[in-house]
């Protein structure tokens, strides 16, 4: 529904050779909301010890909040016709707030030390995790450690694939006043055992890089391994681009791709930010919280200076600072109307690009699909 705007659906009584029907985006939205709402009373809770790797009442509340926050996007047949979206109804924003308030009232959930969320045994040690994909030290179907291997240079510990970097436009939100001590930006003290074993900080890696013994590293050509903000999609050398370490390697075996760190789908801080955004978009909170107060609650816990005011752009920036590398950026940018903007390596794009094209194989095997506008 989110990526393609059309959903193949097979009812429980369908035959094995029946071609799946295809639900439109509004139909899929209504079905998902109804399904979750009906299922919720029979689900366990985190407070009962169900665990964040199982469907719970809390994970339903989180997902319903996410759905209602994006309702104007999901209930438009051709979303490109309404982009950028403005029609955020107050009753939908109140539903977001109500669902998040259920999580706020939950004794199990609270803001925790930021980097505990992304390291080994995170589900056992963090009080922020609402829903995760379960990994163990021997089996990792959702290998969170790949996020570090994707960014690390060949000569770092562990040796990475040197594939992905952060563009300067995004990193600039961490260079604004008040971000100097933000542990989400970079921390050499949050996980000292990782620093000792690998030489890596957590967060963004910029400038000269070092090995486990503190020695300055070089690239494969003997040049100092200095990560820079400048990066080009076609012509960069192996040193260019700021790297992100969100799921750090485990200190006792840095080269092991099976770390046992659970992969996060839903996190309490995300829920709080959804509530803050819903308040900005016209919702009312029976608890009396404000968008600025919620955001500053998170920022204080992360070591950043409090903000004096907040608007939608500031809200998007704060979601970027808190949620980078957690898979929500496209979703956020569409909702805030910035997804089609130009940035490094990308020209300004047409509004229909907020949906992906239906793959040709899907079109060939199911005549109920209709190709999305523009493709």
Q: How many residues does the chain have?
A: 375
In a domain, 126, yes or no: no
Give the pLDDT confidence score for residue 137 in this predicted structure.
Answer: 79
CATH number of residue 32's parent domain: 1.25.40.900
Domain range for residue 195?
A: 138-261
In a domain, 205, yes or no: yes
Q: What is the mean pLDDT of each run of 10 residues along the chain (375 residues)?
A: 96 94 97 98 94 96 98 94 96 98 97 97 96 88 88 96 94 96 96 96 97 96 96 91 96 88 97 98 98 98 98 98 97 98 95 97 96 96
Q: Which residue has the tokens 């930021």?
A: 114
User: Which two three-digit tokens encode residue 39?
Assistant: 């299922």
142 lies in the same domain as 252: yes
43 lies in the same domain as 62: yes
242 lies in the same domain as 271: no
Give the pLDDT confidence score for residue 78 in this predicted structure.
Answer: 92
Q: Could you give phi then psi for residue 299, rounded to 5 degrees?
A: -65, -40
255 lies in the same domain as 322: no
Summarize pLDDT for 178-216 with one digit per residue, the tens.
999 999 999 999 999 999 999 999 999 999 999 999 999
Give the span between the Cα atoms of 188 and 210, in whole angstroms. Answer: 12
Give the pLDDT confidence score for residue 95 in this predicted structure.
Answer: 98
Give the pLDDT confidence score for residue 126 in this predicted structure.
Answer: 97
In a domain, 120, yes or no: no
Give the span between the Cα atoms of 368 and 83, in whole angstroms. Answer: 26
Number of domains in the chain: 2
Q: Are strands 243-245 and 202-205 parallel, antiparallel or unpaired?
A: antiparallel
Q: Could you give phi then psi for residue 166, rounded to 5 degrees?
A: -100, 135
80 lies in the same domain as 168: no
Of the residues 235, 261, 287, the one at which a domain ends: 261
In a domain, 372, yes or no: no
Q: Could you give phi then psi for residue 96, rounded to 5 degrees?
A: -60, -50
245 lies in the same domain as 287: no
Of the residues 240, 261, 282, the one at which a domain ends: 261
Q: How many CB atoms lie within 10 A of CB 284?
A: 11
pTM (predicted TM-score) = 0.97
In a domain, 357, yes or no: yes
254 lies in the same domain as 275: no
In a domain, 188, yes or no: yes
318 lies in the same domain as 246: no
In a domain, 13, yes or no: yes
71 lies in the same domain as 151: no
288 lies in the same domain as 310: yes
Give the pLDDT confidence score for residue 191 in this predicted structure.
Answer: 95
Give the span between the Cα atoms of 168 and 90, in whole angstroms. Answer: 35
Give the span between the Cα atoms of 11 and 199, in whole angstroms. Answer: 53
Return the closest-CA partner of residue 66 out of 22, 39, 32, 43: 32
Return the closest-CA partner of residue 280 out of 320, 331, 314: 314
In a domain, 102, yes or no: yes
Contact 20, 8 (CB under 8 A): yes
222 lies in the same domain as 290: no
58 lies in the same domain as 147: no
Give the pLDDT confidence score for residue 88 in this predicted structure.
Answer: 98
Q: Give 8's strand partners.
A: 22
Of the residues 197, 232, 261, the one at which a domain ends: 261
């Amino acid at each position: 529904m989110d990526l393609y705007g059309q959903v193949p659906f097979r009812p429980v009584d369908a035959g094995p050779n029946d071609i799946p029907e295809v639900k439109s985006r509004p139909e899929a939205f209504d079905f998902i909301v109804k399904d979750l709402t009906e299922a919720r009373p029979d689900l366990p809770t985190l407070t009962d010890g169900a665990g964040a790797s199982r469907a719970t009442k809390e994970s339903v509340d989180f997902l319903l909040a996410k759905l209602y926050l994006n309702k104007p996007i999901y209930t438009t047949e051709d979303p490109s016709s309404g982009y950028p979206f403005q029609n955020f109804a107050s009753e939908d924003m109140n539903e977001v707030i109500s669902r998040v308030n259920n999580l706020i009232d939950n004794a199990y959930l609270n803001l925790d030390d930021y980097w505990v969320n992304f390291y080994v045994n995170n589900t056992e040690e963090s009080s922020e995790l609402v829903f995760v994909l379960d990994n163990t030290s021997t089996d990792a179907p959702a290998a969170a450690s790949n996020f570090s291997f994707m960014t690390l240079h060949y000569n770092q510990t562990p040796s990475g694939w040197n594939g992905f970097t952060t563009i300067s436009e995004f990193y600039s939100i961490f260079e604004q006043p008040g971000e100097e001590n933000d542990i989400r930006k970079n921390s050499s003290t949050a996980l000292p055992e990782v620093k000792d074993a690998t030489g890596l900080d957590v967060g963004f890696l910029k400038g000269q890089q070092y090995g486990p013994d503190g020695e300055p590293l070089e690239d494969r050509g003997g040049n100092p391994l200095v990560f820079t903000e400048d990066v080009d999609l076609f012509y960069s050398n192996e040193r260019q681009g700021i790297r992100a370490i969100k799921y750090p390697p485990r200190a006792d075996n840095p080269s092991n791709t099976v770390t046992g760190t659970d992969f996060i789908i839903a996190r309490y801080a995300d829920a709080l930010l959804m509530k803050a955004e819903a308040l900005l978009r016209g919702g009312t909170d029976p608890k009396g919280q404000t968008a600025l107060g919620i955001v500053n609650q998170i920022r204080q816990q992360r070591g950043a200076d409090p903000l004096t005011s907040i608007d939608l752009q500031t809200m998007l920036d704060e979601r970027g600072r808190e949620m980078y590398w957690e898979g929500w950026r496209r979703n956020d940018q569409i909702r805030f109307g910035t997804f089609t903007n130009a940035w490094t390596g990308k020209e300004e794009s047409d509004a229909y690009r907020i949906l992906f094209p239906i793959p040709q194989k899907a079109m060939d095997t199911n005549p109920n699909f209709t190709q999305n506008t523009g493709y």
